[in-house]
């Protein structure tokens, strides 16, 4: 099986969560990272960062669509005159699965659940429904996270997506965690504090303390 790391918003920590999940579960397993749609290629891409952090342990797959400006995918596609075809993304997903049936993927989403992918109103949440993969929700730990997380959980359930878990990113906040678990009717899988210096060593160290109960392990069984 595989899973998709999604977020309540942009810049919430999806890439770091993806890298830590990969580092946590790569031992004894064949894993790969894939971010099918990405913007902001003018700077270092998320794929390049994950390759630097955990590329020595997992396969790194290239994006299906990569755009320069750091804007919403539907706008980036329009500016580049290269619209996104969801069917191509889904076909690539199947191809990656067939390349090595024993390999599991950690797929990284883009933006929040309802970010538009196409000009016709096809959203990331539609793509997730079509992918039929479990979703690991990355959310901030600080002010505003209760509302954003509950709205995201509501969207996940409305689309009948399989929720693999919730990861809170940032300084630990027991009150926000308790509120999310109570009002969201969910258990927080892990809390990941901001890493002061992102790199291979810090990702590996964080992975050793991540999901100590192994709640995500079933998603990486062949």
217 labelled catalytic: no
Residue 97 near residue 17, CB atoms below 8 Å: no
pLDDT recorded at residue 124: 98
Q: pLDDT 10s digit of each residue in the chain, 222 long?
A: 799 999 999 999 999 999 999 999 998 899 999 999 999 988 789 999 999 999 999 999 999 999 999 999 999 999 999 999 999 999 999 999 999 999 999 999 999 999 999 999 999 999 999 999 999 999 999 999 999 999 999 999 999 999 999 999 999 999 999 999 999 999 999 999 999 889 999 999 999 999 999 999 999 886
Q: Which of 222, 28, 11, 8 is nearest to 136 (CA)?
A: 8
pLDDT recorded at residue 222: 63
Please give the structure tokens belonging to residue 83: 């619209």
Q: The tokens 């996270």 sit on which residue? A: 145
Residue among 35, 172, 205, 217 flagged as catalytic: 35
Domains along the chain? 3-216 (3.40.50.300)
Q: Which of 62, 63, 49 is nearest to 20 (CA)?
A: 49
Q: Is the pTM of this model over 0.85?
A: yes
């Amino acid at each position: 099986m595989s899973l998709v790391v999604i977020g309540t918003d942009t810049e919430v920590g999806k890439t770091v969560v993806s890298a830590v999940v990969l580092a946590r579960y790569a031992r004894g397993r064949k894993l790969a990272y894939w971010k099918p749609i990405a913007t902001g290629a003018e700077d270092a891409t998320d794929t390049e960062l994950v390759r630097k952090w955990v590329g020595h342990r997992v396969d790194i797959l290239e994006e299906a669509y990569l755009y320069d400006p750091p804007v919403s995918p539907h706008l980036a596609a329009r500016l580049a005159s290269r619209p996104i075809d969801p069917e191509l993304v889904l076909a690539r997903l199947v191809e990656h699965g067939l390349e090595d049936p024993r390999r599991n993927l950690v797929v990284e989403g883009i933006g929040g659940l309802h970010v538009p992918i196409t000009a016709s109103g096809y959203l990331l949440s539609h793509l997730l429904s079509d992918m039929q993969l479990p979703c690991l929700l990355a959310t901030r730990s600080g002010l505003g996270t209760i509302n954003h997380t509950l709205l995201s959980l509501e969207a996940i359930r409305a689309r009948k997506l399989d929720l693999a878990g919730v990861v809170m990113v940032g300084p630990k906040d027991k009150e926000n965690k308790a509120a999310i678990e109570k009002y969201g009717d969910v258990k927080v899988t892990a809390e990941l504090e901001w890493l002061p210096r992102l790199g291979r060593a810090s990702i590996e160290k964080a992975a050793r303390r991540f999901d100590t109960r192994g709640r995500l392990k079933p998603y990486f069984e062949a």
